[in-house]
Chains A and B, each alone.
Chain A
Amino acid sequence: MNSDMEETKKIQVPTMAEMMAKGEQPDVLFWVGCAGSFDDRAKRITKAFVKILNQINYKFAVLGAEESCSGDPAKRAGNEFLFQMQAMANIEVLNAYEVKKIVTACPHCFNTLKNEYPELGGHYEVVHHTQLLQSLIDEGRLKVEGGAYKGKKITFHDPCYLGRANEVYEAPRKLIQNLDAELVEMKRCKSKGLCCGAGGAQMFKEPEKGDKDVNIERTEEAIETRADIIATGCPFCNTMMTDGVKNKEKEEQVKVLDLAEMIAQANDL
């Protein structure tokens, strides 16, 4: 218990304001996102990612209470006013801190910040956390042992806003290979990957009448691969797939985990 306490004390999560007060600038701003900040399941992803950054002493900061919704769900639902209000307020904060590089574990924030903010005055280098982690491994800064994941069958569910929307397919897959795990692909993967059902603001409403929920369809496909783990790179996909696995009563056989969580666990963080 005591050693645990000491261990945890070491986790540093500076805010931009705190850094600025010390006259420092981080190498990257970690954009946590609403899910990563408030949703209990997604907070575990946030914490896992932060632990990894702490482990290698990566100089990062968060906005904390100065962060606000990127505006993605409002925009996809058709509320362009609200989106642009959010975007411009966020850009004002980001530009005031002279942010250059942003990492986020949410593909929706990633897409919006990367593709929709520049026209409104927000120009940043935006990367998804799987891209940052992979580049840290490539640079030799982050070492990953397979640990508990060695030899495990893992399938990766491509988030629409990471995959089709931005053509990021390789970084998350390389991470799985770095875990010495066996990557098994679903029938529909990469550019043909099936949506989890949460995008376009569907996360916040009941689905329209149909004969099945999209997440069930996708979960069935994931279960078909006989993977031990469904890897995700999106807090919303994570929720949808977790619900799907519960619905199929397969919680014992299949876990739904974010890649950051797996790497943190593999490194005993």
Chain B
Amino acid sequence: MGISNLIFALCLILAIFFFRRNVLKIKRNVFLGRDVNRSDQPSVRWKTMIRVALGQSKMMVKPIAGFLHLIVYVGFVIINIEVLEIIIDGIFGTHRIFSFMGGFYDFLIASFEILALLVLLACLLFFIRRNGIQLKRFVMKEVAGWPKTDANLILIFEVLLMGAFLMMQSADLTLQKLGAAHYTEAGSFPVSSSLLFVFEGMSETTVYAYERFFWWFHILGILAFLNYLPYSKHLHIVLAFPNTYHSNLKPKGAFTNMESVTQEVKLMMDPEADPYAVSDTDVADEMQRFGAKDVTDLSWVQLMNAYSCTECGRCTSECPAHQTGKILSPRKIMMDTRDRLEAYGDRLDGIKTEVDDQTLLDGYITREELWACTTCNACTDACPINIDPLSIILDMRRYMVMEESAAPNELNMMFTNVENNGAPWQFPAADRLKWRDEF
């Protein structure tokens, strides 16, 4: 083991250490949310995860983007097998430790190369699509600035990583051909063999320097990318799995019945109930407000949804309110929830210390957005990883109505009518069967 192995081991440890720290922070933030039981029907949940996250069933609704995404995804997952070899080589100073597998190794290396090329091309196409054509969901106000930079950084990262991998392979092959010590012949190089011209006529030392450069660039790039995930929308590559596992399995139209309300309504309707009796659960409930004003009023699944969102905007482009020019965008609801949760977490960690007078409602999401929703479920249907922006909108409406009595006036009139006449309009309840006399 030389000094470079030690440096590598140190980089690896640091990368894992920082990644773990950020993951734990995200986990802590997510569990600031209220409890919700999403562990029933495990077999259905596994199937949903396999179909939607692993199988990407909902991505294929848009076939071109879906196909390109599949390439990047499959490529990414499979090429990471190679990273295992690189890490072992890096720590122990070995060269292609898995090459003892012989023909199968050649097959693996060849497929990594082909996939790397495909991923590289797909990312270039994605980059052109994102920046060249003016696709509405990629140029909206809410993705201006950091979200757009984030999206492009991810693509650039992947192009560079794949490029470095192929260049490393090509330099390695050159060294193998030159018969350099340590570089025993192993692997099959369908793509990088066409890059050999780059190193033609170079001395062994120069090629070696290039090989080392690309090797380090590639592996340090991967470790850096790993640590970039927690700050990026790219976190979806991890969270898509738990997110789909914890999907809502009920029909989309079934909205949750608030248990805290059920208890109160039962008390109100039960003539024998003792209004002064206080049970333990009542005390716990008293702490909770009805509905959501801030991120801590949401459930941990809703908060995980926010961290899982990759800001593709399919929800928003399907939203009828958005399509007709209202300011509601389900994607923005998710982005706002994540931003607010991050800010909330930073305060807990003492990173931000100024007085926190903001909440998710009003500070991030306006009331106009919330009241524009038709609860049509187009957004939840469109989301490739079963994120549910509608449930957040509903919980925030619940807060406005039940804690603040701050519904739009027409809705307050509707409520009054339902209370008094049992209908949303001002008709006497006794006239409900009048139509029977109108045949």
Contacts and interface: CB of A to CB of B under 8 A. Distances in A.
Interface string B403-439: 0000110110111001100111101011111111011
Nearest to A160: B376
Interface residues of B, number: 68
Given A71-B418, A73-B418, A82-B415, A200 B376 contact: yes
A214 B262 contact: no
A85 B255 contact: no
A197 B374 contact: yes
A140 interface: no
A38 B431 contact: yes
B389 to A, nearest CB: 13
B435 A37 contact: yes
Contacts of B328: 208
Contacts, number: 216
B257 A210 contact: no
Interface string A72-89: 011111111110111011
A199 B261 contact: no
Contacts of B265: 81, 84-85, 88
Interface stretch (B107-115, B147-155, B316-324): B316-324
Nearest to B369: A208
Contacts of A203: 424
Interface in A1-56: 8, 11, 13, 15, 32, 34, 36-39, 43, 46-47
Interface stretch (B163-171, B335-343, B394-402): B394-402
A88 B396 CA distance: 24
Contacts of B291: 78, 80
B381 A191 contact: yes
A208 B326 contact: yes
A156 interface: no
Contact of B423 (A38, A88, A114, A207): A38
B372 A208 contact: yes
Given A69-B423, A164-B252, A199-B374, A77 B324 contact: no
A230 to B, nearest CB: 17
B375 interface: yes
B373 A200 contact: yes
B439 A47 contact: yes
B411 A80 contact: no
A205 B372 contact: no
A205 B407 CA distance: 10
B324 A210 contact: yes
Contacts of B439: 8, 11, 47
- Chain A's interface size range is 35 or more
Given A78-B402, A81-B402, A82-B418, A165 B411 contact: no
A165 B320 contact: no
B411 A77 contact: yes
A204 B325 CA distance: 20
B325 A214 contact: no
Residue among A13, A79, A116, A119 with the highest chain B CB neighbour number at 10 A: A79
Best-buried of A32, A160, A195 by chain B (most CB within 10 Å)? A195
Contacts of B287: none
Contact of B433 (A37, A192, A198): A37
B254 to A, nearest CB: 3
B414 A120 contact: no
A55 to B, nearest CB: 13
Interface in B44-72: none
A205 B418 contact: no
Contact of B251 (A64, A115, A211): A115
A228 interface: no
Nearest to A86: B418
A69 B261 contact: no
A129 to B, nearest CB: 15
B269 interface: yes
20 contacts: A11-B439, A47-B439, A65-B429, A65-B430, A68-B423, A69-B423, A76-B397, A78-B291, A78-B394, A80-B398, A81-B261, A81-B264, A81-B265, A195-B374, A195-B378, A197-B324, A207-B324, A209-B325, A210-B325, A216-B324
The 9 A-B pairs with the shortest beta carbon distances in the complex, nearest first, are: A165-B253, A78-B397, A200-B375, A68-B422, A211-B325, A210-B325, A115-B254, A195-B376, A78-B401
Given A69-B424, A77-B411, 5 more contacts: A15-B433, A119-B257, A165-B252, A200-B375, A214-B324
